[in-house]
Chain A
Amino acid sequence: MDNVFEKIVETIVDAKGIDAASVKPESTFKDLNVDSLDIAEMVMTLEDEFGITIELEEGIATVQDLVNLINERIAG
């Protein structure tokens, strides 16, 4: 769980050059200025990292939503 969150923070920091401390589980991607294609790009990195395939769904609004989606795929 923590590992997934940390990896997401790392990819957001890499992609957008923002301070890691500003990324919280409850942060919305909108507030972080992360748009839908940024999310798709991050998900590609995370798919490689965790060896999973994620089909992106509507309604991924917060960092925690993405953590949950990835954890579901890792578990499933």
Chain B
Amino acid sequence: MRLKIYGTGSALPKRVVTNDDLAAFLDTSDEWISTRTGIRERRVLSEETLQSLAERAGAMALSSANVAPEAIDYVLVSTVQAETLTPALACDIQPALGLKCMGMDLNAGCTGFIAALAVAEGLIASGRARKILIVSAEAVTRFADWRDRSTCVLFGDAAGACVVGEGEGVKDIRFVSEPRRDVLCATTPPGNSPFAGELRPAEYLKMQGQEVYKFAVSHAFRDVREMLADHDLQPEDIDFYVLHQANMRILEAVRTRLKVEPERFPHNIERTGNTSSATVPVLLDELNRAGRLKPGCRVILNAFGAGLCTGTALVEF
């Protein structure tokens, strides 16, 4: 696999919403939310746009990679729901970033960033692109159900980005799919076609937490273990496990099964909540900016979510 991560970026909305803020209009509490999820606060889009977040994260990744905008020949955005159905957010962010290249959005739920990495690898391997900007930009708070205290408290908004290109670094990328709609879904507005049958209103995000928990913990553990075994690595050979920040309890359940120390499982969910496909690149950027991704550093990326599906990548810096 010839793919290297050159630089990273991230952007969070300005508006901080604490658990106490939520308790002001929902029958919940800081204690209830934090013990079940590890989340203390999240960032929520208010006056800003998702596009502006994506632009900020993208600009930071270009700067971090020290890559000129002209050198980027493809933009991939992972998002569950952008602000426009068309054009793609991957096109809309280009003017602000000084880019002029093919761009497209992809949706693989919370696994979107790892899916974009795999698409980038294919574009580079085929010779279709040399340097690609990936942005995972998510505004889950716009389709979460704010009447449902069991789900809306979990989510935040964010954008994470990276510049990838030819080189050594990403060793392997894998996916596992178990299609199940019932446990995690949201629907789009029905439109106004006179030819459509029964027009059903959009349904906000619905999630069966226990089933998603079981899927996430069992798959994340198994996917990571298999990836390590196939590369003759032990759990302690990995410096950082950058897992999708969905719930602190999931992270802890996977970590204890792998029998590794907490230091190898960085997390920011206490500050960000679950930001869908943005969690992995945002956390990766935070590690990068803190100077923790040193040369030779080995990292596992793992995300899981709607589909249901999971993605796992092994990366060396």
- Is the beta-carbon distance between A56 and B208 smaller than 8 angstroms? yes
Of chain B, the residue at the smallest CB distance from A35 is B36
Q: Of the listed stretches A18-26, A40-48, A67-75, name the one at the interface; the rest are far from the partner chain.
A: A40-48
- Is the beta-carbon distance between A37 and B249 smaller than 8 angstroms? yes
- Is the beta-carbon distance between A56 and B36 smaller than 8 angstroms? no
Query: Is there a chain B Cβ closer than 8 Å to A49's Cβ?
Result: no
- Is the beta-carbon distance between B218 and A56 smaller than 8 angstroms? no
Query: Is there a chain A Cβ closer than 8 Å to B190's Cβ?
Result: no
Query: Is there a chain A Cβ closer than 8 Å to B204's Cβ?
Result: no
Chain B, 195-223, contact with A by CB distance < 8 Å: what is the 0/1 string?
A: 00000000000001111011001100000
- Is the beta-carbon distance between B210 and A36 smaller than 8 angstroms? yes
The number of chain A residues with a CB under 8 A from chain B is 10
A39 to B214, CA, bound (A): 10
Of chain A, the residue at the smallest CB distance from B218 is A44
Chain B, 84-116, contact with A by CB distance < 8 Å: what is the 0/1 string?
A: 000000000000000000000000000000000
- Pick the contact of A39: B35, B210, B218, B253 (CB < 8 A): B210
Q: How far is the CB of B256 from chain A (nearest CB, A)?
A: 10
Q: How far is the CB of A53 from chain B (nearest CB, A)?
A: 9
Q: How far is the CB of B210 from chain A (nearest CB, A)?
A: 4
Chain B, 243-259, contact with A by CB distance < 8 Å: what is the 0/1 string?
A: 00001010001000000
- Is the beta-carbon distance between B211 and A56 smaller than 8 angstroms? yes
A68 to B36, CA, bound (A): 26
- Is the beta-carbon distance between A40 and B214 smaller than 8 angstroms? yes
Which B residues fall within an 8 A CB radius of A? 35-36, 208-211, 213-214, 217-218, 247, 249, 253
